[in-house]
Structure 1
Amino acid sequence: MDHTAADGYQPIDLSRIREIIGYPPKFIEEKKTSSLGEFARRFIAHSTFYVVATVNDAGQVDASPKGDPPGSVKILDSRTLAIPDRPGNKAIDTFRNLVERPGIGVLFLVPGVREVLRVNGDAFVTDDPDLLDMLAADGKPAVLATIVRIQEVFYQCGKALIRSRMWNPDPGLADALLGGANFYCAIGAEMGEMATAMGIDVSGLIDITNEHYETTLY
């Protein structure tokens, strides 16, 4: 295995971590539940962005961002969610992981709300046509659906979003990153390799990407 900068540091064990961090107050553990309460249902119903975390048999973790209008994730009962899949890059990383290991974590955000909702459990993928129709958006059924069997529900405090100014961001950050360019122009080397592989120039690849955003969201 190639050496990296990480090799210059030593890991510490759990006892040392606890020595530094300490233990949470009792109410932190008690706030975790195994089902959705009324407010958790409302939170999910208003969420427009969430992150789905899964892991494969080799222990490799994937975190996939998802976005949809409010109410797109369906609450089937207090311990079951249905998450729609929309047209994407066809990599199926999340689905492959769930077939190998059913564990799942979902982090829900609501624009303007500092706190987040975390849902953990196990999940599987289904192509049930009635469910896909229920999960339709823009008049089109979901491509597939992920059924989440909830094991743990809890809220995360707003410190992370406050520190990041998530809902009140610095408008200069995007310009600092992109230099005023299109994202795909900013990653020029990677774009050049992709365009060459597809037999087109970079401008053609940008046009394809923009058309994809406009016509295949659903």
Structure 2
Amino acid sequence: MQIRTVQALRALYAPARERSVKKELAQLDAHCTRFVSLSPLVVVASAASSLALDASPRGGEPGFVKVLDATTLLLPDAPGNNRLDTLENILQTGQVGLLFLVPGVDESLRVNGTAVLSTDPHDLAACADAKRSPKLVIRVTVQAAYLHCAKALMRSGLWDAKRHVARSVMPSMGEMMKDQIGGDIPAETQDQMLLRYAQDL
């Protein structure tokens, strides 16, 4: 049996607690701003006009995403695979959802808003670091921000070193791509991949 209406869905769950509803803010407060400043990883969710969805991890030094003010975030674009899924989606729909993570902290920060691709010199300069100045910056206008409870990360034990998996349990990315794509793609080892990645991290 499929759930097809909001009424049927809501019948399965108790009403949302008042605090869960009220915690959604229309802008970043001091706690949200601090969270962003400590975060080395954000997952960017976006959608194309066809409603095809994408979620892309973006990483850097803690605070690589810049808070300009209570309603503006700057997310620098770093070298990647050049698929540009997120960037093309932003051009089509101008909407993003962000999930910020801080190692060791089980809460996460969710931010939803509109986004544009900026090459404004001031935006690029704000996001430049010792390694590079980005080609462009995703400029996000915050519409909603809220701290997400710790339950998901507590259940996952994500930060628990005793539950970490050795990288050797999976083939290298190159080996998996060789199996998936075939052809003349070399089965790059993990060490070879790390050396290649080091050129543009």
TM-score (norm 2): 0.91
Where does residue 110 of structure 1 map in the other structure?
102
Where does residue 185 of structure 1 map in the other structure?
175
1:53 aligned residue (45, 49, 58): 45
Q: 1:186 to 1:144 in 2, by over 3 A?
A: same
After the TM superposition, which residues 170-181 of structure 1 pair with which residues of structure 2 at under 5 Å, given as runs?
Answer: 170-172=163-165, 174-176=167-169, 178=170, 181=171
Q: Deviation digits for residues 105-147 of structure 1, max 9, x if unmatched?
A: 1000100000000000101001112321221133310121011
Read off the aligned partner of 1:216 and give its amino acid letter: D
Q: Which structure would you say has the larger Rg?
A: 1
CA distance in 2, matches of 1:21, 1:119: 24
Q: Which ranges in structure 1 are unaligned for 5 or more consecutive residues? A: 1-8
Where does residue 24 of structure 2 map in the other structure?
32
CA distance in 2, matches of 1:10, 1:202: 43
CA distance in 2, matches of 1:85, 1:105: 16
Matched, 1:201 2:186: yes
Where does residue 197 of structure 2 map in the other structure?
213
CA distance in 1, matches of 2:84, 2:178: 26
CA distance in 2, matches of 1:153, 1:97: 21
Read off the aligned partner of 1:142 and give its amino acid letter: P
CA distance in 1, matches of 2:105, 2:17: 24
Between 127-136 and 53-62, the greater mean CA deviation after superposition: 127-136
CA distance in 2, matches of 1:160, 1:211: 34
Where does residue 5 of structure 1 map in the other structure?
none
Matched, 1:62 2:38: no
Kept in 1: contact 2:3–2:9 (CA 8 A): no
Q: 1:206 to 1:90 in 2, by over 3 A?
A: farther
Where does residue 74 of structure 2 map in the other structure?
82
Kept in 2: contact 1:51–1:107 (CA 8 A): yes
Kept in 2: contact 1:192–1:202 (CA 8 A): no
Where does residue 136 of structure 2 map in the other structure?
144
Q: Which has the higher helix share?
A: 1
CA distance in 1, matches of 2:124, 2:71: 19
Equivalent residue pairs, number: 200
Over aligned residues, Cα RMSD in angstroms? 2.1
Q: 1:173 to 1:215 in 2, by over 3 A?
A: closer
Kept in 1: contact 2:110–2:146 (CA 8 A): yes
CA distance in 2, matches of 1:13, 1:78: 36
Matched, 1:127 2:111: no
Matched, 1:155 2:150: no
SS for the counterpart of 1:83 is strand
